[in-house]
């Protein structure tokens, strides 16, 4: 009977520990922490339209500066579908004042609710707004 009780209690403890960790992972005074939604795509030369599916793109930055980014595009039927999902297990942000790095991209906080992401060496960039 004691063994059964032990095996019933362990999953509850594990689930409780996991849920606390997820809540704490978003807690930080760092202004980049939070959920960011793509607001606009800026290309100073091209006037091509902004894909409606791209507006679903989302960047989530956690307290340990790991992140998840999900990008969307239109399939052959015109439906918005997930194109890619980069995980915090592979990519990390590196803080340099208010400028952060993800691989070959620079992230700059323009104000508390606006983030600019630009790949090194290209003219276009994305503006993300912090989700409420």
Neighbouring-strand partners of residue 34: 61
Residue extents of the structural domains in the chain? 29-130
Instruction: Specify whether domain 29-130 bears CATH 2.40.128.
Output: yes
- pTM, whole model, 2 decimals? 0.70
| Owner of token pair 């400028």 | 99
pLDDT digits (tens, 9 = 90+) for 101-126: 887 888 888 999 999 999 888 888 99
pLDDT digits (tens, 9 = 90+) for 2-56: 554 444 444 444 444 444 445 436 777 788 889 999 998 888 777 666 778 888 9
HSE on the CB side for 22, CA within 13 Å? 6
pLDDT category at 65 given cuts 50, 70, 90 is: confident
Torsion of CA 67, 87, 94, 71, to 10 degrees: -70
């Amino acid at each position: 009977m004691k063994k059964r009780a032990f095996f019933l209690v362990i999953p509850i403890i594990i689930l409780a520990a996991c849920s606390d960790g997820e809540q704490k992972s978003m807690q930080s005074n760092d202004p980049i922490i939070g959920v960011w939604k793509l607001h606009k795509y800026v290309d100073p030369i091209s006037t091509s339209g902004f894909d409606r599916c791209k507006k679903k793109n989302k960047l989530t930055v956690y307290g340990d500066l790991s992140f998840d980014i999900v990008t969307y595009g239109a399939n052959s039927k015109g439906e918005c579908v997930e194109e890619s999902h980069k995980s915090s297990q592979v990519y990390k942000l590196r803080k340099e004042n208010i400028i952060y790095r993800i691989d070959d991209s620079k992230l700059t906080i323009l104000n508390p609710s606006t983030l600019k992401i630009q790949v090194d060496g290209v003219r276009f960039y994305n503006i993300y707004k912090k989700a409420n």
